[in-house]
């Protein structure tokens, strides 16, 4: 009789453990669903769009070329040459590719150009700058600009992984990025004196 009861009892304990694990997993998944449902879909989309524009996962060549053309134009400069360089992997997995700009414009508008590049929501870094100025204060400028991007994540998590929590600092940064105005509305009043082509 003992030999009959023991296997059944052992099997019962195993089944109870399996059932307990299933209940825990269901509770965990339900809590994830509730957390996801608590997000404001439109707000989340706005923040995701802002974050991926500022720090994309891949080379956004078309976006960068258009953005640099817009920044230089509204700053009173004109592009005479634009060359795309190679990419490089940096610390912490941050990647970048370079763009060399040859532009001309008035020396007076150089602060506006640098300010508009700095205030752009797209992560850019000026790695070098060379200038020559003619007698009539026309500035010939060579800029090496680096556009940063993150690369495609290698680990997207799993169903059983915890939802990543956004810290207060990250939330504040996302809110600021989402509120950044288009570059055309970021120009200072002094920039409006410039023209797309200073030689016209």
Under DSSP, the state recorded for 122 is S
Residue 82 to residue 141: CA distance in whole angstroms: 12
- Per residue in 156-175, pLDDT (tens digit) is 666 677 776 777 887 787 77
Lowest mean pLDDT among 3-7, 57-61, 117-121, 150-154: 3-7
Residue 191: CA atoms inside 13 Å, Cβ hemisphere, count? 22
Backbone angles phi, psi at 188, to 5 degrees: -80, 165
Beta strands in the chain (DSSP E): 77-89, 95-106, 124-133, 138-149
- Per residue in 57-74, pLDDT (tens digit) is 888 888 999 999 999 999
């Amino acid at each position: 009789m003992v030999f009959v009861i023991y296997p059944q009892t052992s099997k019962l304990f195993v089944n109870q453990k399996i059932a307990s694990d299933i209940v825990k997993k269901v509770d965990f998944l339900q809590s994830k669903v509730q957390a996801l449902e608590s997000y404001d879909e439109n707000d989340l989309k706005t923040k995701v769009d802002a974050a991926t524009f500022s720090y994309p996962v891949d080379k956004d060549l078309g976006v960068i070329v258009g953005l640099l053309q817009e920044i230089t134009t509204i700053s009173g400069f004109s592009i005479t040459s634009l060359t795309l360089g190679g990419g490089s992997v940096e610390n912490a997995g941050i990647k970048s590719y370079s763009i060399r700009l040859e532009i001309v414009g008035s020396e007076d508008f150089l602060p506006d150009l640098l300010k508009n590049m700095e205030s752009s929501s797209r992560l850019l870094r000026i790695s070098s700058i060379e200038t020559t100025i003619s007698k009539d204060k026309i500035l010939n400028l060579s800029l090496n600009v680096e556009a940063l991007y993150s690369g495609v994540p290698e680990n997207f998590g799993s169903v059983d992984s915890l939802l990543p929590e956004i810290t207060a600092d990250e939330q504040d940064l996302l809110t600021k990025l989402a509120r950044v105005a288009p570059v055309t509305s970021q120009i200072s009043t002094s920039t409006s004196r410039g023209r797309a082509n200073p030689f016209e």
